[in-house]
Structure 1
Amino acid sequence: MKQLQKQRKKIMTFLLTFGIVFGLLGAMPVHAQDENASESTTFDVKIVHTNDIHARVEEDDYNQVIGMDRLSKIAQTFTAGADGSLMLDSGDIFHGQPIATLVQGESVAKLMKACGYDAMTAGNHDWSYGKDRLKELGGIANVKILSGNIKNADGTSFFDTDALVKEITKNGKTLKIGVFGVSDPNMKDKTTPSNVEGLEFQDAIAYANMEAAALKADGCNVVIALSHTLNPKNLAAQVDGVDLWLCGHEHIELSDTVTTPNGSKAYVSESGYYLNTVGLIDLNCTMDAEGSVHVDYNKTSVDYEAAQNYPKDASVTAILDAIKAENETALNRVIGTSPVELDGVWEHIRIGQTNLGNVITDAYLLATGADIAFENAGGIRASVAAGTITYGDVINVSPYGNYVVTKKLTGAQIKNMLETSLTIQKNCIAANDSGEWDAWPNDSGSYLQVGGITVSFDPAQPEGSRVLSVKKDGQELNNTKEYIVAVNNYLAGSDSYPALAEAAEIGEYSCCEELLIRFFEQGSDAIATSASKQNMIQTTKESTEPVPPTTPETPSVPVTPAVPEQPAKEQPKSPKTEVKKDDAGGTKASAKNPKTGDDNTLLCWILLLLLSGSVGSICLVQKNKK
């Protein structure tokens, strides 16, 4: 019996010793991990991101535009004290407002330089002044334009460099960040063909994979891609090696992650449009002893209201003021001569076709080659006097910075649009005749000025039957045939014309005022011919004799109403959102989970506790047996 007890004591001693030793061995990786952790370095990198500014560089409370001088101070405040920073844009910045188009984008380039932008990618509207001018603007802005998939005919890159590499040193370690840009090949069809003549827009996915791999091979720890593209998440999900995508073109607020083909995660961001939002992104890049880097992301979107908490950068405000003063001289530049007054009186363009409506729609047809053109009455803000025409006169007519797009509609859809327009016209005529300002309908600005077609109509017929005939080049429109229609981008999304709004864009062109200037530059004969056209002919079903135009020589309400029905500035659509936020209001994502060894240590301690429990149980059993 004593012999048996001795053997049991030996077994218990062995098990206890084994458990202690095993536990110590299990604890050793924790010590090693802590040692490695002490050798890691975290780089605090700040990214300031914008996209689709469209030359909205001045603060505008009505349209919630932050302004470049306040943007500069936001960037300075956010990046202060960081280990490294980048200011990046995803395209469509140089074009879109008179302050830019007057000097072919130079004003915006100067402001970009003052704000400290590092790089951008090219948006489709950035090509509006031509490919050579775009490269010049990059030089004025002191910014690298990165769109490496855009090639010359000989296969070389059109822009001077394909990537920007930034090195940040801290604690004796160097973090290398690579930035490249890519443009959606569809963008080539969204600018005037002559702007990109001789250039090839290569496959975006193939190029992005190749360039990301090249930057990684060059030792870049973090790769950032700038893109101007449709469906940014779809692009990001097909490319390996990119940690952060900063996108533009879709005019949305986006903060999300996607899984790439090799199973990695990529963070995708877009920051509104018209400078109503600035994206501030924290990149916490932790480099371990072996040089591996783990990246955590946190994005804060600063909207117009939040931006008011920041002061303006006085130096940028001074540049902006100087630009506006210089533009005053440009506004007086003579661009043509009109033999007649071109009627843009507020009431007249809402109750009938005017000669200015003819000229504007003919300008759209000339620039686009479309079959038909429409302009909403609300897009015409002034008349043009007979005689000398200046740049300022044109800006007064078309002040919004809207641009022209083309879409395809069937003959039946076009006739339906005209029926809707005639309903609006009928209500506007009644309001005009009443002499009561409040009688004007809210959609009065949606009445259409037309070009490229001759419309016969009878306002006395029932709704839906007022359009008697629509002819193009003397031939009646075919209800099932598709026709190319040119309109401004504001009208293109109008709720008054759902078929137009739902149709896909097939082309994008320059600003409305630029196209009007080109038309005036043809000379007075072209203006006279356009102004004399009769595009809308009122008649009756019983007679084909035209009825005199309904536009009165002297309207029954004031020529210049005290309060215009349409706002003096374009009202932007609410930005689409696709955002995932954490409880603190930021948006977080992680590129990968760091290997800490905590799981192995925990397993070792569990085994030790189990063994200790077993030993205790054996001792308790032996004691009970005694």
Structure 2
Amino acid sequence: MKKLKKRWNKITVLLLTFGIVFGLFGAMPVQAQDGNASGSTIFDVKIVHTNDIHARVEEDDYNQVIGMDRLSGIAQAFTEGADGSLMLDSGDTFHGQSIATLVKGESVAKLMKACGYDAMTTGNHDWSYGKERLKELGGIANVKILSGNIKNADGTSFFDTDELVKEITKNGKILKIGVFGVSDPEMKNKTTPSNVEGLDFQNAVAYAKREAATLKAEGCDVVIALSHTLDPKNVAAQVDGVDLWLCGHEHIELSESVMTPDGSKTYVSESGHYLNSVGLINLNCTMDEDGSVHVDYEKTSVDYEAAQNYPKDASVTDVLDMIKAENETALNRVIGTSPVELDGVWEHIRIGQTNLGNVITDAYLLATGADIAFENAGGIRASIAAGTVTYGDVINVSPYGNYVVTKKLTGAQIKEMLESSLTIQKNCIVANDSGEWDAWPNDSGSYLQVGGITVRFDPAQPAGERVLSVQKDGQELDNTKEYTVAVNNYLAGSDSYPQLANAAEIGEYSCCEELLIQFFEQGSDAVTASVAKQNMIQTTKETVKPEQPSVPVTPPVPEQPSKEQPKAVKTEVKKEQASGTKTSVKSPKTADSNELFCWMILLLLSGGAGSICLVQGNKR
């Protein structure tokens, strides 16, 4: 028993020894984080990334918006203790909600400064207040706007700087990070032309290649590209020398490595939209003894639910509260007058065209120069009383921050959309007549208010045949011709209208409320003319039939001597067929008709004779 106990003690000592030794080995990589025996140093760099916020700066549980004050809390918690950090944005930030448009983006700029953003690139909607205002907003935000491929007419860069360089020191070594930005040339076509007048949006890929090479030549160990582009992976795959692409515009979650022409890999990231998520990226940059750097990436996307685990930054909340108080004054600003009440009653805009529907669609036509405009009933949230119209009144009508886009549709597609709208209207009328709230169809908000055309329709006709006539400037729409159509961006992707959803955007404009304000600023005469229009006219099918050509009047036959037969009247058969008329012309009896009569008698007699023979044969 004693021997067994001795052996057990020896085994225990051995196990403890092994545990200590292996424990030391396990601890060695941790020490190597700062500087191992080989002399390498690992820099822990934290990147906080956002894109396509579209001025969604206030926390919103219903729409899952994180809010800027909680965003700042997330950034502080994530970057605490890091060797270095950057807070970066990929555009479409200053515009999109009334809190921003009331003060031409200044509110968002103040919040960006409070959060501590370092740099951003431009999205197409950031230009909505004009190019000079965008520069001003960068100054207010204390952020570098990096879009170096956007040049003045003389070839100089429009923005003050093309790059941001940050140096991080650790263990006597310096890690140099270079950041540049690039905006897709297509973005120039996605804002009102006057906003970017005189600017040249140069090729994005060519510029990115040059700038990445320049930063590497200047000694940058890590190069980060900010981009606002239609196809981020495609752009990234064409450029050598960029370690990390932080992208915007597509409104997607993206975390993917792509191969570049020299065989290297670059990491491409996009972080949703509307501040529904935040991209947190760990850059572990290992600098070897010879100064070469290897970068490892690790991204975490923090959505609205996960964001609730982080505290709000009280200092940013204070800025937000101050902005909201200031905006209350701006909401009372008078922007025009209306001679009549503009009807935006929930039920009314779903069962027929209203005068407010006229005004809204006319506002879209005025701003875009489109042929036709549509507004979905669900996009109209309030009426406007007769008399003075304030900024706040307009915000109540259009509170969503939607913006206007244009697309090309054929006359046939437009008529198909109107047919779908009339079906929705018919269901809404049934629901309204029933008095039951639950009877309203789920797609009631997709009923269309129309502008730029006159539609005659008969609801009594079968589905697909209710649209009787659609005219633009007095001319019937050509089924094969394309027309420019202006709608809000929500309607542009509606499942109710695949014709619209599947068409490519050809232009993007300001927020709906901004265009409505511009319309009121014309004066009350413009409002009076708009509300008087009859864009949707209910009628019956018979009343809109094309006028039938009258039957040609046969000239009177001159009286002839009694012994002569009257001449046969020639009928214009070919003319009738060509014109499509169904009117028949009765000809007077002639000798030709007598001859036909004789042939019919002979035919009957021969048929009878045949029958007699058949009977006789049967009797046999």
User: What TM-score do you get using the length of structure 1 for normalisation?
Assistant: 0.81
- Look up the match of 1:343: 343
CA distance in 2, matches of 1:161, 1:543: 66
Residues 106-164 of structure 1, C-alpha deviations (whole Å, 9 max, x = no match): 00000000000000000000000000000000000000000000000000000000000
- Look up the match of 1:398: 398
- Look up the match of 2:358: 358
- Look up the match of 2:49: 49
Secondary structure, aligned partner of 2:261: coil
- Look up the match of 1:104: 104
Task: Give the Å deviation of 1:257.
Answer: 0.3
1:495 equivalenced with 2:495 (yes/no) = yes
Secondary structure, aligned partner of 1:45: strand
CA distance in 2, matches of 1:209, 1:495: 40
Task: Give the Å deviation of 1:544.
Answer: 4.3
Instruction: Supply the AA of the counterpart residue of 2:485.
Output: V
1:135 equivalenced with 2:135 (yes/no) = yes
Residues 478-499 of structure 1, C-alpha deviations (whole Å, 9 max, x = no match): 0011100000000001000011
- Look up the match of 1:428: 428
Residues 400-434 of structure 1, C-alpha deviations (whole Å, 9 max, x = no match): 00000000000000000000000000011111111
Q: How does 1:84-103 map to 2 (within 5 A)?
A: 84-103=84-103
CA distance in 2, matches of 1:529, 1:429: 28
- Look up the match of 2:226: 226
CA distance in 2, matches of 1:36, 1:60: 47
Could you tell me which runs of 5 or more consecutive residues in structure 2 were left unpaired when the two chains were aligned: 1-34, 546-620
Residues 213-264 of structure 1, C-alpha deviations (whole Å, 9 max, x = no match): 0000000000000000011000000000000000000000000000000111
Taking structure 1 as reference, are residues 37 and 471 closer, same or farther at Cα in structure 2, changes over 3 Å only? farther
Q: How does 1:30-69 map to 2 (within 5 A)?
A: 37-69=37-69
Task: Give the Å deviation of 1:438.
Answer: 1.0
CA distance in 1, matches of 2:89, 2:365: 33
Task: Give the Å deviation of 1:467.
Answer: 0.3
**Identity in percent:** 88
Q: How does 1:213-612 map to 2 (within 5 A)?
A: 213-544=213-544
Contact 2:468/2:544 (CA < 8 Å) preserved in 1? Answer: no
Instruction: Supply the AA of the counterpart residue of 1:195.
Output: N
Contact 1:36/1:289 (CA < 8 Å) preserved in 2? Answer: no
CA distance in 2, matches of 1:528, 1:273: 39
User: What TM-score do you get using the length of structure 2 for normalisation?
Assistant: 0.82
Task: Give the Å deviation of 1:346.
Answer: 0.6
- Look up the match of 2:71: 71
1:197 equivalenced with 2:192 (yes/no) = no
Contact 2:339/2:528 (CA < 8 Å) preserved in 1? Answer: yes
- Look up the match of 2:177: 177
CA distance in 1, matches of 2:71, 2:231: 27
Task: Give the Å deviation of 1:435.
Answer: 1.0
- Look up the match of 1:151: 151
CA distance in 1, matches of 2:166, 2:320: 30
CA distance in 1, matches of 2:150, 2:544: 56
Instruction: Supply the AA of the counterpart residue of 2:386.
Output: A
CA distance in 1, matches of 2:218, 2:359: 56
CA distance in 2, matches of 1:278, 1:539: 54
- Look up the match of 2:569: none
Instruction: Supply the AA of the counterpart residue of 1:446.
Output: S
Instruction: Supply the AA of the counterpart residue of 1:528.
Output: T
Taking structure 1 as reference, are residues 207 and 349 closer, same or farther at Cα in structure 2, changes over 3 Å only? same
Residues 553-573 of structure 1, C-alpha deviations (whole Å, 9 max, x = no match): xxxxxxxxxxxxxxxxxxxxx
Secondary structure, aligned partner of 2:268: strand
CA distance in 2, matches of 1:317, 1:169: 33
Contact 1:408/1:482 (CA < 8 Å) preserved in 2? Answer: yes
CA distance in 1, matches of 2:123, 2:363: 24
Secondary structure, aligned partner of 2:542: coil
Secondary structure, aligned partner of 2:117: coil
Contact 1:338/1:527 (CA < 8 Å) preserved in 2? Answer: yes
- Look up the match of 1:554: none
Task: Give the Å deviation of 1:541.
Answer: 1.2
Contact 1:37/1:288 (CA < 8 Å) preserved in 2? Answer: no
CA distance in 2, matches of 1:198, 1:511: 23
Secondary structure, aligned partner of 1:275: coil
Secondary structure, aligned partner of 2:125: helix
CA distance in 1, matches of 2:400, 2:295: 42
Secondary structure, aligned partner of 1:456: strand
Secondary structure, aligned partner of 2:427: helix
Instruction: Supply the AA of the counterpart residue of 1:299.
Output: K
Residues 49-101 of structure 1, C-alpha deviations (whole Å, 9 max, x = no match): 00000000000001000000000010000000111000000000000000000
CA distance in 2, matches of 1:516, 1:542: 38
Contact 1:36/1:288 (CA < 8 Å) preserved in 2? Answer: no
Contact 2:469/2:544 (CA < 8 Å) preserved in 1? Answer: no
Task: Give the Å deviation of 1:542.
Answer: 1.4
1:188 equivalenced with 2:188 (yes/no) = yes
CA distance in 2, matches of 1:516, 1:524: 13
CA distance in 1, matches of 2:542, 2:470: 17
CA distance in 2, matches of 1:239, 1:108: 32
Task: Give the Å deviation of 1:38.
Answer: 3.0
Instruction: Supply the AA of the counterpart residue of 1:92.
Output: D
CA distance in 1, matches of 2:66, 2:250: 19
- Look up the match of 1:604: none
Instruction: Supply the AA of the counterpart residue of 1:271.
Output: S
Secondary structure, aligned partner of 2:530: helix
Contact 1:350/1:377 (CA < 8 Å) preserved in 2? Answer: yes
CA distance in 1, matches of 2:423, 2:374: 16
Contact 2:376/2:448 (CA < 8 Å) preserved in 1? Answer: yes
CA distance in 2, matches of 1:135, 1:542: 61
- Two-structure CA RMSD over aligned residues (Å): 0.9
CA distance in 2, matches of 1:496, 1:542: 30
Contact 1:109/1:141 (CA < 8 Å) preserved in 2? Answer: yes
CA distance in 2, matches of 1:295, 1:492: 41
Task: Give the Å deviation of 1:37.
Answer: 4.7
Contact 2:381/2:399 (CA < 8 Å) preserved in 1? Answer: yes
Secondary structure, aligned partner of 2:389: strand
CA distance in 2, matches of 1:346, 1:308: 35
Instruction: Supply the AA of the counterpart residue of 1:185.
Output: P
Instruction: Supply the AA of the counterpart residue of 2:333.
Output: R
Instruction: Supply the AA of the counterpart residue of 2:257.
Output: T
Which entry has the higher C-alpha Rg, 1 or 2?
Answer: 2
Contact 1:256/1:267 (CA < 8 Å) preserved in 2? Answer: yes
Secondary structure, aligned partner of 1:38: coil
Contact 2:407/2:505 (CA < 8 Å) preserved in 1? Answer: yes
